[in-house]
Amino acid sequence: MMKTMHEKLFDDRIAARLKSGEWDLGIAGAVNRRRRSRKIGFAAAGTISSLALAAMLAIAVLPGLWGGAGAGEELTYFVNAQVAGTWNTVFAGAGQAVESDVSVVDPGYEDDIDTFIDETLAMRL
């Protein structure tokens, strides 16, 4: 089988490149550049994802540290509504609880919370 002129020219160029040391250096340089750009890309992606995670944690944690209400002040209305609702459900005929009469006890300052709970439960019986 006879090779065409294009095939012979192609084979000659391939043979010349295989014998050339300059071609080997060019290929090796291109491979190194590609690997270096990949490593930089992975490092950049890792840095960006770490910064994003740190930002999400800061957004989640810092507002509570900077000016959060002390002793559950932001939940007072919610807790008062729950206590009043429970009172009205349990003691339906005893009268309505007045929401302003309900106070939130901070368990950090209560010496004997178990006694308080037991006395309150005894009042229900």
Q: Do 94 and 47 lie in a common domain? A: no
123 half-sphere exposure, CB direction, 13 A CA radius = 10
Looking at the structure, tell me whether residues 57 and 9 fall in a common domain: yes
SS (H, E, C) 20-53: CHHHHHHHHHHHHHHHHHHHHHHHHHHHHHHHHH
Both 77 and 116 in a single domain? yes
Kindly report the backbone phi and psi dihedral angles of residue 66, in degrees, each rounded to the nearest multiple of 5, phi listed first. -95, 40
Neighbours of 96 (CB within 10 A): 10
pLDDT along the chain (125 residues), means of 10: 82 83 80 87 89 87 64 70 78 61 53 74 77
The whole domain housing 61 covers 5-65
Based on the domain organization, do 45 and 10 belong to the same domain? Answer: yes
Specify whether 79 is located in the same domain as 106.
yes
**16 and 60 co-located in one domain:** yes
Q: Tell whether 49 and 75 lie within a shared domain.
A: no
Predicted confidence at residue 12, as pLDDT, reads 87
Where does a domain end: 24, 50, 65?
Answer: 65
